Each structure stands twice: as structure tokens, then as C-alpha cells.
Amino acid sequence: MDETRSKRSWLGRLGVVLYRRALIILFERPPGTQAMITIGIDIGATKTAIATLEADGALRAFRKVPSAKMLSEKGNAVDSLRLFIDDYVSMAGYERESIRGIGIGVPAVLDSYTQEIVSCPNLPGLDRLPLEAMLSPKIDLPVFVENDVNLIALGEHSFGRGRGINDLACVYVGSGLGCGLILNGQLYPGADGAAAELGHAIYEPNGRLCSCGARGCYEMYCSGKALTFDAPGILGDSEMKAMLSDESYGPWALAEKVIEAAKAGNPNANGALTKSFFILGLAITNLVNILNPRLVILGGGIVGGWPEGLRTVRETVNTTARSVARDRLIIDTPQLGETAGLYGAARLVEIKTR
């Protein structure tokens, strides 16, 4: 990076920090007035959820809309999000002065140096967007953006399965493989915001081509993408052709069909799932050996669809991880379900504005 770009990035980050601080001071309320609220938004590949965390720790005014439609209402993602937030605040009847800030989870890495969202293939309107810096002035509220699985980890740590546990990893298996870390009681995003990219650790050098551009990533062997690769050898030709010709199915919907086949007793589908969860167990073994968390929370659509996989992961970690790291390790499912990211997003605001 040349000197001019470095200076511009530094000044940009300083401007964002000063603007946030000014908004935080502006919206502070004197003692004895109504308690402040925080708003959490969880932007997923297909759906976007929004809710309010109130002072009593309750999540209220939940709403969910299609992501693609919401992000295109005004022609660009920033103005569309402004409209979405304004409509929500109006619908819920909140006074703007009662809102402490807005936390947003995105299915991508957030570069903590440039404040840009990077690697967001499912929602290209967000890719390379400095969302915090662009949205906050438009809504006159502090805005904080973070990776979605990081916020799931923060939500489970603050309000769910991880309460009272200082060191935990949250591993979510859906179409891909995501991970968030809480270390020493704090969310750990890494030096540049790219920590815990477990799905992009290498399992098989020169293996399957991943959407990140690398080959052999764990994500391509133990996620919905992996099951999609296995589907042609499991599902019948007629079912494959029907699904591939139906535009209503998402790109990784074949994974759901593999799970359905396993539940119906298909031995090949069962074998594919067992292998996938075994490889996931190896990935978690590496995580456990490196970081020594007390708790691994294992969730996501693939885990929810095939709960038997939890046993496979536990058995794999128990036989492959080092004893000092595994003997007191807990591997369990999340408590907050689809609201974990919302809790985490709202909690992020509390942390950033205290």
C-alpha cells in the first residue's frame, strides 16, 4: 500500500471513530429518563432479521424479510438499509433518541483496517462496501458491522449456552463452514478482522476448488457444499434433473435432499453425512489443539438437519485431540437458535458504546 492510500485509510478510520463518538455523546440520556435500546440486524444470504434488545435483556419487535429484496429497494444497499431501519423504527414506535446504536451481522469478513466488507459472494451489493462509514451518517446513529458467526458467538456467550464461559468457539455448518471465537471473555476478530476462518483452513491440498479461490478448504468437505458434491452419486437421475431445472431451489438445496435421503434410510446418504461430520471433527480437533477452548458450540442448518452428526464430531475429537485440551472440553448445541446473531449484534453496540 502506498503512502497516499495509507494516509487516506488512516484519516478515514479516524473520521469514523470521531463521528461515532459524537453520536454516542449526542444520544446519551440523563439519569432518570427512559432506558436506551439497541437494535440488531442479521443479514443472511436469503433472509434478513431485525430485533430490539431492551434494558431487561429481552429481544422484542422481531421482523424478518427477504435479503435480496430489502437490499435493492432504493437501488443500492446503503440507502435500502436506511429505508429498512427507518421503517422499522417507525413501526416499533421508537423515539430516535432512545436508540443507542445499531449492530449489523453480515455473511462476510469485515476488514478492520479499511472497514470494508470483503468476500460476500451471496450478496454482491455489500461486497467492498464500508457499510459503517456510509450508513451511520444517513441514519444519525452509531452503526457497528461484524461477521455474522462472530456475532452468533457473542450472542451465545452473552445470553445463551456460553454464559459464564470465557473461552469458546462457535462453529456453524450451513452451505459453508463458519466460526467465531470468544477468548478471555472477549470477541476475538483477529488483527485484521479475519480470524477463525475455519472453513478456509486446508484439508486436502490441490483438492476441490472453493468459492474463496483456494483448493481443498474444509468447507468443501464438511458443509452443504460438500453434500452437494456428493448428491449425484446418492440421488436418482430424475430427482437430480428436476431440481437442477427448478429455479426456485437454491444452489445448495441438494444438500437438503441428501439429508432427507439419509433419514429415509439411504445408506449412501448416511455414509456421506458420516464422512462429512468426521472431517468436521478433524477441523474442530485442530481448533481445539490450537486454542484450547472450554466449549465448542456446534450449530447451523446442516447440524440441525442431521443431529446424529454431533455424536460423530464428539467421537472424532475425543479420539484425535490432545488429552489436555479435550478432557474438560464440552461440545454442545446452541441455545438461542436463529436469534443468536441478533443478540450478538445488539450486544456489540453495548460493548462499543460503553
200 within some domain: yes
- What is the torsional sign of CA 173, 177, 178, 184? positive
Q: What is the pLDDT of residue 279?
A: 98
Q: How far apart are CA 352 and CA 151, in angstroms?
A: 13
340 within some domain: no
Residues 149 and 10 in one domain: yes
Residues 196 and 144 in one domain: no
List Cβ neighbours of 218 (8 Å cut-off, separation of 6 or more).
Answer: 177, 198, 199, 200, 201, 202, 203, 279, 280, 283
322 within some domain: yes
Q: Which of 205, 234, 244, 236 minimizes the C-alpha distance to 221?
A: 205
CATH code for the domain in which residue 145 is found: 3.30.420.40
Q: What is the pLDDT of residue 263?
A: 97
Residues 140 and 197 in one domain: no
Residues 126 and 184 in one domain: no
289 within some domain: yes
Q: What is the pLDDT of residue 4?
A: 46
339 within some domain: no
Residues 148 and 119 in one domain: yes
290 within some domain: yes
Residues 52 and 139 in one domain: yes
- What is the torsional sign of CA 301, 304, 305, 309? positive
Residues 135 and 214 in one domain: no
Q: What is the pLDDT of residue 106?
A: 96
Q: What is the pLDDT of residue 245?
A: 65
Length of the chain, in residues: 354
Q: What is the pLDDT of residue 45?
A: 86
Locate 66 and state its grid cell.
427477504
Q: What is the pLDDT of residue 114?
A: 93
64 within some domain: yes
Q: What is the pLDDT of residue 14?
A: 53
b vs e for 61-83, b when ≥16 Cβ sit within 10 Å of the residue's Cβ? beeebebeebbebeeebbebbbe
Q: What is the pLDDT of residue 211?
A: 86
Residues 15 and 103 in one domain: yes
Residues 172 and 272 in one domain: yes
Residues 237 and 276 in one domain: yes
Query: In this structure, how many other beta carbons lie within 10 angstroms of the beta carbon of residue 354?
Result: 7
Q: How far apart are CA 1 and CA 294, in angstroms?
A: 39
Total domains in the chain come to 2
The per-residue pLDDT string of the chain (354 residues; one tens digit each, 9 = 90 and over) reads 444 444 445 545 555 555 555 444 444 544 444 568 999 999 998 899 999 998 888 999 999 999 999 999 999 999 999 999 999 999 999 999 999 999 999 999 999 999 999 988 788 899 999 999 999 999 999 999 999 999 999 999 999 999 999 999 999 999 899 999 999 999 999 999 999 999 999 999 999 999 889 999 999 999 999 999 999 999 877 777 777 666 556 656 789 999 999 999 999 999 999 999 999 999 999 999 999 999 999 999 999 999 999 999 999 999 999 999 999 999 999 999 999 999 999 999 999 998
Strand pairing report for 168-173 and 295-299: parallel
Q: What is the pLDDT of residue 303?
A: 97
Residues 126 and 167 in one domain: no
Residues 201 and 316 in one domain: yes
Locate 217 and state its grid cell.
478448504
Q: List the domain range (segments joined by +) for residue 66.
A: 3-155+345-353
pTM: 0.88
Q: What is the pLDDT of residue 81?
A: 98
105 within some domain: yes
